[in-house]
Amino acid sequence: MVGLTVPAIVYSIICLLWFGLNDLAAIIAIGAAAFPAVGISIWQGIKGMDTQLVSMGQAFHLSRSAIVRKIIFPQLVPHILAAMRYALGICWKICTTVELIGMSSGVGYMLNYWFGLFSMAQVFAWTISFLLVMFAIEYLLFKPIENRLTRWRTTLALPLTA
């Protein structure tokens, strides 16, 4: 929980100071900023698991791997997927911040460059390209993974009300 209270930009600045103006600093800053959110999301998923299902699996003499694969993992999937999406957002923000502060390439650098030249069109162009990449990751990577991991779930048909 303490890791979430530290602003992400602080992780960026500290890593740039400790590791220099290189890709390693960006990677470590991204990991340090994303880890607390991912850890807490999965921890909350573990705390919210239905332990009676695990007990039932043990009563039916399922192996440990079967209990993990068929009981525990399906309960954690929504938390893992939410953590992945949240971590992706944090990673993009930190990466852009690190590039903005201390790198000589990347989206953050280009945003800062065009901001310095007061070119609103270029800033918007880079922002839109950034959003397009995020949508592509969401719909070409995360949605298929989510559909595959949650195909066992039944869909809920909500009644239409007038």
Band the pLDDT of 91: cuts 50, 70, 90: confident
- In the chain, % helix, strand, coil (3-state, to 5) comes to 80, 0, 20
Place of tokens 């800062």: 112
Residue 91 vs residue 102, higher pLDDT: 91
Q: How many CB atoms lie within 10 A of CB 82?
A: 16
For domain 2-149, is the CATH number 1.10.1040.10?
no
Cβ(87)–Cβ(34) under 8 Å? yes
User: What is the pLDDT at residue 119?
Assistant: 92
User: What is the pLDDT at residue 100?
Assistant: 84
User: What is the pLDDT at residue 162?
Assistant: 55
User: What is the pLDDT at residue 156?
Assistant: 64
27-57 pLDDT tens trace: 898 898 889 889 998 999 999 989 999 999 9
pTM over 0.75: no
Band the pLDDT of 149: cuts 50, 70, 90: confident
Q: Pick left, alpha or beta for residue 94 (phi over 0 → left; psi -120 to 50 → alpha; otherwise beta).
A: alpha
User: What is the pLDDT at residue 161?
Assistant: 63
User: What is the pLDDT at residue 117?
Assistant: 92
Q: How far apart are CA 160 and CA 15, in angstroms?
A: 53
